[in-house]
Amino acid sequence: MYRDTRREHIVRLLRNKEECTVSDLAHYFSVTKETIRTDLAWLQKRGMVIRHHGGVSLKKHLMQNALSQQEYVDMSLLIKQQQQGIGFLTSLDDKGHRMAGKVCVLGSFNVDIVAKVYRFPHEGETLVAKETTMGPGGKGANQALAAHRAGAQIHFACKIGRDQFNHFARNHIESIGIGSFTFYESERSTTGCAVIYVNNEGENMIAMSPGANHELSDNDIIQLSHFIAESNVFIVQMENNLAATHLALKCAKQMQVTTILNPAPWSIDVATLLPYVDIVTPNETEASAMSGMVINDISDAMKAAKHIHNAGQCSVIITMGKQGALIYDGQQCAHIPAFSAVAVDTTGAGDAFNGALAAALAKGESLVKAAWYASAFASLAVEKEGAANMPDISLVDARIQQQNVAIQTF
């Protein structure tokens, strides 16, 4: 294990255990105590840990104490403190500039129970499913996986219960290769769960129980602020509680990190978040709810996008399935026709698009070029079963070369 990776893992251990001894750390990493002491000295110098006789603890934010004494969060204090914290650890280049390609995802983790049916059931009807499976899901986890597969460095944060699905969630994130993540735990709620029907055409219907996803606290967001600050792009959805999502977006905006809001599932509360959003990514249904307009074609989408932009002063990307995607940045509209795909399961199409979009933006692509790349990525995702099955970057490059999908501007 490389030195920087080991130091990041030390901090992650301290987030979970609060305190560790030098002996335990040396045994855990299979290194000498002297090596651990050198690591701890480096971390202490940067204000990340406090060393004790024979051990170490994670330095608590002054902000956490302040929260217990007041009802509001002092954003200026939060921003000042994030400069002393730890994030991706390798976030700055030799000249002190933020390195490109870092995406922080705050979102949900759900256990998905998927039933494959010939058609959707009618009210009161019982159907025999062709197959039923259980797997990892949640818009946050899916988008983090998509951004990871699209080549970005990821930090994923979510809240789960202390139940039978706790280890399931942790094992999933570790197994897919996301090496930087934060799992907050709820003492009173279970891990989120979603029941999904998928029909023969690959269309889906979803019912979700948010559970611990709705219990993110101000303290949780404050602990996450270091990772937000060191990211190029920060992305959220609407599967967490509104107050935490609002605070996280406000934090990221003031730290001048590009913010993306995927307004799904739709809620009227989306309007309160738009002042802190750089890019909003509704699908047709969500864009109709946001604009009050029925969307049938590209012309309708263009009008709706302009309405949403005027209301929130943010760039708008409306994903439209087989009709592609419509982008409006306040000055120009662009349409990206859909990449050809044989749809097997559209459950994770939106998450694939949003994760790949965030990754491409983090690596410096323009909004339109990033959306074009995300469209190719999503076209491959729908050809796989399960919302958590995302394509490899090599397959995306091959699809782009095989299909000459041209961007149209208006």
| pLDDT (0 to 100) of residue 162 | 92
| pLDDT (0 to 100) of residue 62 | 34
Query: What residues are designated binding site for ATP?
Result: 283, 319-324, 350-351
Closest CA to 152 of 203, 194, 105, 101: 101
| pLDDT (0 to 100) of residue 83 | 45
Lowest mean pLDDT among 48-57, 59-68, 253-262: 59-68
Computed from CA positions of residues 370, 376, 379, 385, in that sequence, does the dihedral angle turn out positive or negative?
negative
Lowest mean pLDDT among 21-25, 37-41, 55-59, 92-96: 92-96
Mean local confidence (pLDDT), 61-75: 43
pLDDT digits 0-9 by tens, 274-288: 999 999 999 999 999
| pLDDT (0 to 100) of residue 339 | 95
| pLDDT (0 to 100) of residue 277 | 98
| pLDDT (0 to 100) of residue 100 | 60
Residue 42 pLDDT > 80: yes
Measured between alpha carbons, how far is 96 from 259 in angstroms, rounded to an integer? 22
| pLDDT (0 to 100) of residue 380 | 94
Measured between alpha carbons, how far is 337 from 295 in angstroms, rounded to an integer? 16
Domain ranges within the chain, ordered by starting residue: 3-68, 102-409
Measured between alpha carbons, how far is 81 from 63 in angstroms, rounded to an integer? 8
Residue 53 pLDDT > 80: no
Position 150: which residue type? Answer: A
Q: Is 269 a catalytic residue?
A: no
CATH hierarchy code of domain 3-68: 1.10.10.10
Query: What residues are designated binding site?
Result: 110-112, 138-142, 239, 283, 319-324, 345, 347, 350-351, 381, 384, 386
Mean local confidence (pLDDT), 174-201: 90
pLDDT digits 0-9 by tens, 340-394: 998 887 878 999 999 999 999 999 999 999 999 999 999 999 988 766 679 888 8
Please identify which of the residues 218, 297, 351, 392 carries the catalytic annotation.
Answer: 351
Mean local confidence (pLDDT), 331-344: 92
| pLDDT (0 to 100) of residue 2 | 66
Query: What residues are designated binding site for substrate?
Result: 110-112, 138-142, 239, 351
Measured between alpha carbons, how far is 408 from 350 in angstroms, rounded to an integer? 21
| pLDDT (0 to 100) of residue 66 | 39
| pLDDT (0 to 100) of residue 159 | 97
pLDDT digits 0-9 by tens, 126-153: 999 999 999 898 999 999 999 999 999 9
Closest CA to 334 of 343, 324, 348: 324
Residue 99 pLDDT > 50: no
> How many residues appear in the chain?
410
| pLDDT (0 to 100) of residue 387 | 63
Mean local confidence (pLDDT), 69-85: 48
Mean local confidence (pLDDT), 40-67: 68
Closest CA to 353 of 324, 314, 313: 324
Q: Provide the token pair at 92.
A: 């700055």
Lowest mean pLDDT among 175-184, 296-305, 386-395: 386-395
Percentage of the chain exceeding pLDDT 70: 88
What confidence tier does 13 reach under pLDDT thresholds 50, 70, 90? confident
Fold of 102-409: UDP-N-acetylmuramoyl-L-alanine:D-glutamate ligase (3.40.1190)
Percentage of the chain exceeding pLDDT 90: 58
Mean pLDDT over the full length of the chain: 86
Whether residue 85 contacts residue 226, with contact meaning beta carbons closer than 8 Å, is answered with yes
Residue 94 pLDDT > 80: no
Rounded to two decimals, what is the model's pTM?
A: 0.77
pLDDT digits 0-9 by tens, 220-271: 998 898 889 889 999 999 999 999 999 999 999 989 999 999 999 999 999 9
| Contacts of the segment 87-90: beta carbons below 8 A, 24+ positions apart | 87/155, 87/226, 87/227, 87/229, 87/230, 87/231, 88/8, 88/153, 88/155, 88/180, 88/227, 88/230, 88/231, 89/4, 89/7, 89/8, 90/4
Position 214: which residue type? Answer: H
Query: What residues are designated binding site for K(+)?
Result: 345, 347, 381, 384, 386
Residue 73 pLDDT > 70: no
Residue 291 pLDDT > 90: yes
